Structure 1
Amino acid sequence: MLLFKCCPYFTAGSEGHCRRLSQTYPTSQCKGDQCTEDCEHEGYPYAECDTDHQYPELSYCACFFPC
């Protein structure tokens, strides 16, 4: 879990046109507009939040392009 706390930006991988960028946020920020706004700022048209079940105070914001 240290990776997410120290390094909020990391590349989740690239699968053809399905490029992704994942960021970690406090759940309250991720569920709001922060995730969508940050993804749009990085040039990604889609954003999705997913709460970490082990650490419910953290959520992952996944920015991606359609496949």
Structure 2
Amino acid sequence: MQTTLDLADALTAGNLVPDAHVATILRKHGVRRLCTTATDFRKFDFFEVIHPLRTVAASLVRSSR
């Protein structure tokens, strides 16, 4: 399993270090989906990132048909 430092080293961007830390904790606790507007989390391939506003908008479009 990758650690925070492994992920941070692999991504090599200073601003991603806190995200790598959060992503590592989420992975350790078995989180498979993350609902966030932060696009940086898409760089981590071990969980699905869901944009909450796009999900709501898609739901509204489907329900209006």
Normalised by the length of structure 1, the TM-score is: 0.26
Structure with a larger share of its residues in helix: 2
Flag the structure with more relative contact order, 1 or 2, with Cα contacts below 8 A and sequence separation at least 6.
1
Structure with a larger share of its residues in strand: 1
